[in-house]
Amino acid sequence: MIKKSPWEGYALLENLLHKRDFYAGSLMTLLGAGVTLNSLSYNTGTLMHMGPGMFPFILGCTLTFIGVLIFGTAVLTPLGEDERILPVNKEWLGWFCILAGPILFIIMGHYFGMAAATFSCVFVSALGDRQSTWLSSAVLALCITVPGCLLFSYVLQLPFPLFRWGF
Amino acid sequence: MIATALQDLWYGFGVALEPHNLMWCFIGVLVGNMVGVLPGMGPLATISILLPLTFGIKPVGAILMLSGVFYGAQYGGAICSILLNLPCHPPHAVTCLDGFPLTKQGRGGAALGITVISSFVGASWGITEMIFLSPILVTVALKFGPAEICSLMLLGLLAGSTLARGSPLKGVAMTICGLLLGIVGSDIETGTPRFTFGIPNLFDGVEIVAIALGLFGIAEFMKSVNQLSEVDTKYTNVKFKDLRPTKDELRRSWGAMFRGTIIGSLCALIPGTGPTIASFISYATEKKISKTPEKFGTGMIEGVACPEASTHSSVQGDFIPTMSLGIPGDAVMALILGALMIQGIVPGPQLISEHPDIFWGLVASFWIGNIMLVVLNVPMIGLWVKLLTIPYRYLYPSALFFVCIGVYSTNNDMFQVGETIVIGLIGYMLLLLDFHPAPVLLGFVLGPRFEENFRRAMLISRGDILVFVKHPISAFFVALCVILILAQIYVRLRPPKVLEENMPAVGELVD
């Protein structure tokens, strides 16, 4: 991974940009700093009479500190063998389908009711697997929708209409 | 002391044997056993999915069921490890080392038989420990003031985040993220909305179900989609009569079983070192004291008996600090505490005296549940083995449906489903950055109580931060925290040789 470069510093920096902990540390530092700044907008009070802002302030400072420490380990340790952040097989379709399923559940549930929501959620997320086909996903979705709706709608009496037309 | 313990236990059996409680316990261990066998589904995801369904039932039944899932899954996980060489559940990773070679030699059935026996021995010891140790812990803990509670919680959080898997620094970072998530919502004393970004749905805080299902549901599914290979079921043809171990195997296992049990129960008492670490340590110990250490890894029955016994005694022992002090040792315990809190029960040392039905009912249900598990596992082994062949592509879409409907049913609010999706996506990104999200739950559950006690301690001491070192008990806990941190730094700088020698194979298995 290490590229020979005329500038030593440049190479170090480029190595750093390949490290997972560089991103992990930066993320935590930024999050900590954000929380600390945000907590100042609430009343911190004194140590004896703490306001709502004090505890988040302490946590934010600690998180920033931990983030810097993670960042520090990234700078100090040599480049590891496997520093890829994304896994080897990038399952963009799988990831997309798994997220799209619940999102469709919200939309379909809001406008068309539980049955449509369940079917679309299972159907779309099932499409994310490489071996599944349109047909197998549809069959699976049907197999889940029928007993699922019976269970939640009739047995558990969930206040979520099976069918509705919500426009 | 024994007389009162027996009397309480008798009362507990009365509670646990009530028909509906018995039913919940049975459902719990059945579901647990099932998901333990299914590759790609863990007890954490299952408990999170079942959590919303427990809102409608009484607290005792809810806790019996959720705990049943946890220890039931341990029985199932062993089947997966021994017959398939798949360490689906971290505590059973070690069991693969000797369990799978045994399967190849055609003794897989016997290994499973030994597993059932050692699990029962380990669990029984863990339960006995819980009966006698919890009341002692409670009498001590009831004398604690806010300062002591606060430093004890700090110790619990530190141990839970640094001793678990992965880098301790990242564990601490995750715990703080959990504490921050716990802050979202209205401030307890002044009612000021904090970190709500003006969204009214967040004024009541983030829902624990949304966090758990996002992190252990959606994020886990994203991690495992298309990653699990087809299961090789060549060796899974196990019949009921195969389970009987030979006399020689049984004789060799007894010692290992008891050593494993003791190691497991010791590990359970240290917060943060759950069943996984217990099983690793016990395997290493067993190998060390064995006369034929070189044979380990080629199918030694001791290498199956010892880690399994320690896993189970540690699983039961994990409940001790959770139930008697209100401080969970790992994410599963945090979820169970969360379930208690949703039912309106405040965890802590007063739990045993205020809700004896929950505590003693739970203890009694452990016995009943473990006996049920032996009965379920022995004759139905063929059925469990069949479950191994259910492919993941049917599993995760169905689970996603339960995730969505479960989160929706907590408040009948679609906003929570959206919350889960966001948390799931963030959780997956954190997983990619090598963060293990389990401590988030720990921080989230303890957060509000931690802040409350911290504020109270500061008020009583008139703003003197040194109060934590001035009170002797609190100073003791703080000292333990410092030792823990120093030990971690020491281990990082100079990795112990013993672990390296024994654990290379295990390290590969777990990740």
pLDDT on residue B503: 47
Of B296 and B72, the one with more pLDDT: B72
pLDDT on residue B234: 66
Q: Name the percent of chain B lying above pLDDT 70.
A: 92
For chain B, what is the radius of gyration of the CA atoms?
22
Test A47 with B170 for CB contact under 8 angstroms: no
Test B401 with A20 for CB contact under 8 angstroms: no
- Does residue B429 sit within a domain? yes
- Does residue B145 sit within a domain? no
Q: Which one of A58, A86, A98, A136 would you mutate to disrupt binding with B, by most B Cβ within 10 Å of its Cβ?
A: A98
Q: Which residue of B has its CA nearest to A152?
A: B405
Is residue B186 classed as helix, strand or coil in its secondary structure?
strand
Written in H, E and C, the secondary structure of B142-180 is CCCCHHHHHHHHHHHHHHHHHCCCCCHHHHHHHHHHHHH
- Judge whether residue A167 has pLDDT over 70: no
- Judge whether residue B4 has pLDDT over 60: yes
- Does residue B166 sit within a domain? yes
Does A152 touch chain B if contact means CB atoms closer than 8 Å? yes
Task: Find tokens 């301790």 and name the residue.
Answer: B168
- Judge whether residue B59 has pLDDT over 90: no
- Give the integer Cα–Cα distance in Å for B418 and B408: 10
CA distance B421 to chain A (A): 7
Q: What is the mean pLDDT of residues A13-30?
A: 82
Of B95 and A80, the one with more pLDDT: B95
- Does residue B339 sit within a domain? yes
Q: What is the mean pLDDT of residues B469-487?
A: 86
Test A66 with B465 for CB contact under 8 angstroms: no
- Does residue B80 sit within a domain? yes
Residues in a beta bridge with A167:
none
Test A109 with B414 for CB contact under 8 angstroms: yes
- Judge whether residue B148 has pLDDT over 90: no
pLDDT on residue A61: 92
Q: Which amino acid is at B40?
A: G
Indicate the number of domains in chain B: 1
Host domain of residue B10: 2-139+151-510
- Does residue B92 sit within a domain? yes
- pLDDT tens figures, A125-151: 888 888 888 888 888 888 888 888 888
Q: What is the mean pLDDT of residues B384-405?
A: 81
pLDDT on residue B511: 35
Test B462 with A66 for CB contact under 8 angstroms: no
Of B445 and B199, the one with more pLDDT: B445
pLDDT on residue B506: 42
Test A129 with B225 for CB contact under 8 angstroms: yes
- Does residue B175 sit within a domain? yes
Phi, psi for B185 (deg, rounded to 5): 120, -170
CB-defined contacts A:B, below 8 A: 175
Test A94 with B451 for CB contact under 8 angstroms: no
Question: ipTM of this predicted complex?
Answer: 0.88
- Output the average pLDDT for chain B: 82
- Judge whether residue B196 has pLDDT over 60: yes
Closest CA to B277 of B285, B286, B267: B267
Nearest to B433 among A23, A63, A73 (CB): A23
CA distance B420 to chain A (A): 9
- Does residue B144 sit within a domain? no
